Amino acid sequence: MAEQQEKNTPRDFRRRHRGRMAQIPIYLGKMLRMFLYQNDWKVLPMAALISGMLGMVLRGRMFVTMEGTLMGAFAIACVCIWNGCFNAIQVICRERDVIKREHRAGMHISSYVAAHMLYQAFICIAQTVITVYVTQMTGVNYNSKGVVTNVFIIEFCVTVFLITYAADLMALWLSALCRSTTTAMTVMPFILIFQLIFSGGMFSLPAWAEPLSALTISASGMDVISAQADRNNRPSNTVANLIDRMEDSEISGEVTLGQVLDLVVDEDMRAQKVAGDATVGDIADLAAESPGVQKILNTSYPYTIRLGDLIDIAGKKNVKDMLEKKAAEAGYSPDYERTALNIIGYWFRLLGFIIVFAVLTVITLEFIDKDKR
């Protein structure tokens, strides 16, 4: 019976559908045709539009200050995840019936998923080039020197691609799980919210939620972008901006002449000789023992002074530089250390997400024949 079915099966069908490797270009060609004729290409101009808005917001902030760099890393990771999810969230569930029919006719799930991975990699590479180019054209000043390849723009493109591709394959797996495109589009916002909230970069997580950060693509994406942008060594402008807003604030209170003298007369001044072996400190101590002088020293005087005047005494620039340095030291994080080992480690973590989601997609679709939906 089996031999009779083999004879009745067209030779071209048997030739094209037996080998796993032979099936990959067949499905890849199908996806490329869908890209051209079913408007799948629209994800590229959408990526350009989003990147343009992103660049206009980040210019003058990204790669300039610690806060601006962290905000930029979060925003870029969000855009990459958004692009990746929209690339693939509907591609499997919209042709679920076709997949079941072709699988029963001899289609290998691994070949089908491999074709999708190649196709989605092509889309993600195009989006990466668009994102980096458009943000640069809209004013984001990328560093000229990298750590791993010595060319920053290449390293940054690798990072943007890996984040986008990892989110893409996550969406591909979700598409394999969902019954329909409606279900997939309903689930996707919850996945995006999970990725953004539990990234741990912009929002402080409670202790019980911190382990969830390791399950998000966004956390690794933010960390590697922050490390590449050298976030730890950027100046912090939060304290300086606060000083600018508080310069006109007034400080009021009471002070005694003795307190003022204690601040002004330091040890070097007290050691200066005035007459013979007598020093300024000796004369001050003798004067302090006099009841009349003691009364004057203990008399309180009200005062009102602007904070800006106090800052001007020490020098506004000196105060700002000192506070920015202290704030930057307090904001240091080993996760953002700009080293080749650190950056490559994050790249491998993103590759891990890609592999896991690819395997999960194959496993999920292997049971598609048992799906009664």
pTM as predicted:
0.76
**Average pLDDT of the chain?**
81
Q: Contact at 8 Å (CB) between 170 and 191?
A: yes
Cα(331)–Cα(69) distance, integer angstroms: 13
Among 49-58, 252-261, 363-372, top mean pLDDT goes to 49-58
| C-alpha triplet 29, 34, 36: angle, nearest 5° | 100
Q: What is the pLDDT of residues 127-179, one digit of tens each?
A: 999 999 999 999 888 877 889 988 899 999 999 999 999 999 999 999 999 87
Poorest-confidence range of 95-109, 151-165, 226-240? 226-240
10: pLDDT confidence band, cut at 50, 70 and 90?
very low
R_g (Cα) of the chain, nearest Å: 33
Chain centroid to CA 348: 16
Helix (H) or strand (E) holding 255: strand 250-256
Segments making up each domain of the chain, as ranges: 2-235+332-370, 239-325
| C-alpha triplet 117, 119, 123: angle, nearest 5° | 110
For CA atoms 275, 276, 281, 283, give the dihedral sign.
Answer: negative
